[in-house]
Each structure stands twice: as structure tokens, then as C-alpha cells.
Structure 1
Amino acid sequence: MSSSDRVILITTANAKGGRDEELRRLFASVAAFREARPHALVDHHLLLQCCNDPAASVDSIGVPGDVRVTSDTAQLPLSVARNRMLETVLAQEDLDDDLIGFPDDDAWYPAGTLEAVYDAFRDDRDLDLWFCRYGSAATWQPDAPWQTPSLQQVLSFASSNTVLLRGRILKSVRRFDETLGLGTPARSGEDTGFALRAFREARTARFVDARMIGHRDFDPSIRAKYYGGALLAIRRYGGSSPAGLWALGRKTLVGAALVARGELPVSEYRDALATTARG
């Protein structure tokens, strides 16, 4: 079997987080993909955090036997947890044409979505990056156009759940920024930084402006909480092109608007600007 037949998925979960049902939904969606594409090899890596008894957790959740499970008793920053699994993935020499995804424990692939992207990556060897929107009512939408994304669309819609990329790009990007994301002072931005670097390296990228990957709906009330990390990621990885500078300026103004609406404390906004200025 060639590496172009392989799909590698990276998922991390808190064993005590109460998302067993959501994980089973993800596993079921991957199983449906396997059935639809029986020639595909799915290599699913799962890191269980806050896990004192891996065997009991695997049994309780109902983790399929072909999922590669590792565990840690601690709660790790999200970027650190993903990078730990990526070390194993990146050790594989025949990674270039694999399809890589990072579904959260509460994400899933509606029937048809992963199949279509998998087929597209096999048919077009220049296609290196694909992403869409997500939502709780996501469905595969075959008539939705695939478009060349702008940098702003990458910033707005490319998340770990919605991005699928070629192994060649993963070998270039390699890791999530461990100073960004949940579990770090920045609290966010690891997805943004990763997606921006992947976008910069991609020969061809495609975006579908439709909710075709399942995940709980975005909660606007957390926008302020994650503002600083996102701003820092744009500063580090947005580049010095006009589009990158415009995106940084736009995000700065978004922060000012959050302050004006009382959603973001002035002190946190100032801290975000100062941290971003330091890079």
C-alpha cells in the first residue's frame, strides 16, 4: 500500500473530561470512511490526558482496537500534546503523500466529507491544503465550490478540526508552536500559527465556504478570551506581505472593538499588544 492511500489523524482527549460519547461519534465517522474507502489505511493516534489507567479508559470509552493510544497522567497544553504524537508521525519516511488531520475529541466527519477530500488529494498531487467551516449541523455539500483561499479566510476558518493537509507540508511545518494554545498563557493561536505556515508552504490550497466538518458551534462569548493568542500568531506567522500586515492591523482593530463593547478588559488588550510587539 502506498503512502497516498494513508490517512493519519491526530486526536487528544482528557480521559476525565466527560466526552466519551463525542469520542465514540468521531470513531464512528472514521469507521464509516473506512467502509467507504476500504483501500485506505487509517492511522489514528489518540493521546489520553489525565489518564491514570489507560486500559480502563480505553475500555470505558470504547476505543477501536486499531487506534494507537498513548497516555499521560497530566493535563498537557494542547500544542504539546499534538507535538508528542507528531514526533511518532514525523519519524515515518514515506509521509509525503499522506493525508493529515487533527480532529478534536468532539469533532466528526459527516459522511462524504473525508471521502471527497481524500479522493481530491489522490487525484491532484499539487493539492496540499484543504479546509472548510465547521458546525454542529455540518453535512457534506457536494455542490459547494472549492475556492482558492485568501490569507484572511485562512485566519477566519482554518482550525485544527477543519484543516486537512498533505504530509509533505507537515514535514515542513513539523510542529505546533508550544507557546501558543490552550494550556499556555496565550490560551489560543496554535491552530492559527500552524495553518498560516501550512498555507505559505502549500502549492495549491482550497477552501469550501460551507460547514462540512462537525464540531460544536463557535461561541462568540469566548472571542475575547482567545484574542491575545490569535493576535500573537498573526504577528509571528502572518508574514510581512501587504495581506499579512493588513490582517495584523485588522486584528488589532478587532481588539479595540472588543474593548469598546466591554468584552475585553483594557488591561488584557494592552498586554496583548505588548506581547505581540515583542513577538
Structure 2
Amino acid sequence: MEIPYNVTEFFMLGLSQNPEAQRVLFVAFLTIYGITACGNILIVITITFRPTLVSPVYFFLANLSFTDTCYSSSTAPRLIADSLQEGRAISYEGCMAQLSGAHVFEGAEIILLTVMAYDCYVAICKPLHYTAVMTRHLCALLVGLAWLGGFLHSLAQLLLVLQLPFCGPHVINHFVCDLYPLLELACTDTSVIGLLVVANSGVSCVLNFLLLAALLEVPVILRSLRSHSAEGRLRAPSTCGAHFTAVAVFFVPCMFTYMRPSSTLSIDKNMPVF
């Protein structure tokens, strides 16, 4: 890989430069990451080795938990380690690897959440046709498309950054290697690339959010519930309530970060924490 202008490493400022705050962050993020990773791995193991959990919803849940574990592991261990040291240098190659890895798993998770919304829609609106529609072949195909979409999304982002010349300074005002902080360090006009980032990341988030939250789940399912029994109307919100919450927590920070011109705000370092 050719490194523009001999840049060999970047220096990340992290969430805080206060030593006491860093120790608090270390304990907090180590605890949160440990709970997240262990919980998701336990979900994957349970679904994999329990023969009764074979319905599509569990298949998608296992894949979502695996993707979420990979997504958290692409950034959290580095953040935890950096909380114990003053220097936060990361090599150029390591920065590119972190950028591409995070966006692979982020893109795949966005599409998986949309796929799970479709599964929820079929389960509630077409319960008699559920097994005929959500076949094992279709489920595997949808998961494969999610991973393919994540890879293509990440590849597009990486290609945008690899062509940038970096000639100093090399200080990233963030705790991860992300697109907008890197664009600010480039010694060239990045306005066009910033628009491409919005088109790739921001528009993808908005379109998927509108599809699963506005066009697919909310109005369609509410109309369908009119013909259901009282028990069915009560069970549907519990079926999709957790999914609605996960969608909001995941998509709102994503849209805030990428649906605006390329710039770095102080709150941008807090958004990826979600």
C-alpha cells in the first residue's frame, strides 16, 4: 500500500486527556464491552446449539449478535487500551484497517436490522404464509446480501480515503479512525469526497430507516392489527418493540454523523459510543 506524503501514523486525542477521566473511561468501557461481547456470544451459542430455536427470527438474531460483537470489537478494545496510556498513536495501515472493519460491520448491521424488520412484518401481517415466505434459502440469501452490502459500503469508503494526501498535522480529534476526522487532515480540497461520503453513508442510513420505520413497519403493521384479536394486538408491540428501540439507537447517531457536510463537531466523539 502506498502511503501518501510518507505519513506513517496518526495520533488520536481520544475522549479525554484528563488522567482521572481516562481511568473512569477505562473501567466503564471495559465493563460495557465485556457485557456486550459476552451477551452477544451467549446468544449465538444458545441459538446455535438449541435445536428448538430454528425459526428465521432466531437465525437473524444470531447473525445480528455476531455482527454486533465484531462491530464493537473493531473499535472498543483500542479505546480501552488507549485509556491507560498517554500516547495514542496508530499506524496508517492500522487506521485504514479500523476504518474499513468498522464500516463493514456497520453496513451489515444496518441491512440486517432492515431484514429483521421485514421478518417482523411477515410474522404479523402474513402469519399463515410465514413459513412459506421465510424459507431457509431466503434467510441465508438475505444474510449473505447484508454482508455483501457491508463489504461494498466499506470498500467505497476506503477507496475515498486511500486517494487522499496527508501532509500534516496528523492529529485525529477522535477515538477512532473515521471519515470526517481524516478528511480534515487531508492537504487537498475534500468537498467532493465529503458529498460522496454523505451519499454513501448518510443516504444509506436514511433510506433504510425510512424503509423499516415508516414505510414498512409502523403504518403497515398498525393497519394489519385491525383484523387481529385483542391478544394478537397486544403481542405485536412486544414482538417489535425491542427492534424499534434498537433501530432508533443505531440509526439516529448514524444519520446525525453522516447526513451533514464534512466537519468535525465536539459531539461527534460521543455519537459512536451508542
> TM-score under structure 2 normalisation?
0.31
The structure with the greater share of residues assigned to strand is 1
Using CA pairs below 8 Å that are at least 6 residues apart, which structure has the higher relative contact order? 2
